[in-house]
Amino acid sequence: MWESLGRIAAALGVEVTGAQLLHLANNAVFALPAAELVVRITRTTTLHARVRKVAMLGAWFDQANAPTIRLSRLTTTQPIADRELLATVWEYVVPYGPPPDAGDLGRVLRTFHEIDVDRLPLPAWDPIGDVRARLDDAEEIDEADRDFLLFWCAELEPRLRAFAERGIVGLVHGDAHEGNLLRGKSGRVLLCDFDATCLGPWQVDLVPAPANEARFGRTGSHGRLAAAYGYDVTDDPAWPLLRQARELKMIAAAVPLLGTDPRIANEFRLRLDSVRTGDTADRWTAFADLVR
């Protein structure tokens, strides 16, 4: 990933001196503070459609003055290709003031969900399709684990489809949590990371906070999010179903990376086993925290 960053920076005419690795999961995210850029490089070719979608969204968000980060104006061609990889390049947001919290997330999501999406060629919310795509290209996963996840997909899919058909379709971030917020110098709080952005039921964006509290043991965020947004998704009749869909996504996220790091493979095993046995007391660790 560092070698890819070097080639991309050279193509943009900027230096990598002082570059920092911010995040390493499905994407390697690098900050180049001196050049005021952030570069997101996908680590797997299976997610190239997502990268192209994100580039399209970035251009549209600029036109809509959405509460989001902005694509860099250094290049008009995005995504950028580097051999078999794709990357998007963004304006670097210098952290300012107190870090955004769940209350900020609730307020930003209210604005985000109100954005007109009639002209956006976005995919429909399809959490099961996303999991199946990851499983189709997984080479390191055990067949028994694959079968279990596919069975879980088959059980959830018709129920999730029925829920989506009953709801109001709008812009959904798809991975709404405090780690995907930035506060700029103006004080405005901005969303980032649009890999999962789609059209679907708005409740989807309120699920990560309570689901994360249940699995990672973090407390407080859910209450602040619900108060700021004006709705507590755990009171929704669909909450148990939406929680399962979220947990399936949190497990499947590791599938393309099982052969890249034993820590990710071990966390994948812990998560899958806790679901198989119905153990809700097991505490999970975020994949990004494992590889810092």
pLDDT in tens, 152-166: 999 999 999 999 999
Token pair 């570069």 in the structure block, residue: 39
**Cβ-contact 196, 122 below 8 angstroms:** no
H or E element in which residue 85 lies: strand 85-91
Q: Is 219 exposed, middle or buried (0-12, 13-18, 19+ CB in 10 A)?
A: exposed
Domain range 102-290, its CATH number among 3.90.1200.10, 3.40.50.12780, 3.40.50.9100, 3.30.365.10: 3.90.1200.10
Please choose, from the candidates 139, 159, 149, 180, the residue with its C-alpha nearest in 3D space to the C-alpha of residue 249. 149
Q: In this predicted structure, what is the pLDDT of residue 121?
A: 87
Q: In this predicted structure, what is the pLDDT of residue 292?
A: 58
3-state helix, strand, coil in the chain (%, to 5): 50, 15, 35
Domain range 2-91, its CATH number among 1.25.40.10, 3.50.50.60, 3.30.200.20, 3.30.420.40: 3.30.200.20
Q: In this predicted structure, what is the pLDDT of residue 19?
A: 96
Tallying the residues shown for the chain, one arrives at 292
Quote the longest CA-to-CA distance of the chain: 53
Token pair 């900050």 in the structure block, residue: 31
Q: Is 242 exposed, middle or buried (0-12, 13-18, 19+ CB in 10 A)?
A: buried
Domain ranges of the chain: 2-91, 102-290
Please choose, from the candidates 121, 111, 87, 89, the residue with its C-alpha nearest in 3D space to the C-alpha of residue 198. 121
Per-residue DSSP letter, 139: S
Q: Any idea what the Cα angle at residue 130 is, between residues 127 and 136, rounded to 5°?
A: 140
Q: In this predicted structure, what is the pLDDT of residue 183?
A: 95
Q: Find how far residue 154's CA is from the centre of its chain.
A: 23
Q: In this predicted structure, what is the pLDDT of residue 96?
A: 87
Residues of the chain with pLDDT under 70: 291-292
Segments in the chain forming alpha helices (H): 2-12, 48-64, 102-113, 127-136, 143-166, 208-216, 221-229, 239-252, 262-277, 287-290
The CA–CA distances, whole Å, from 46 to 30, 62, 85, 86, 281 equal 21, 27, 10, 11, 33
Q: In this predicted structure, what is the pLDDT of residue 291?
A: 65
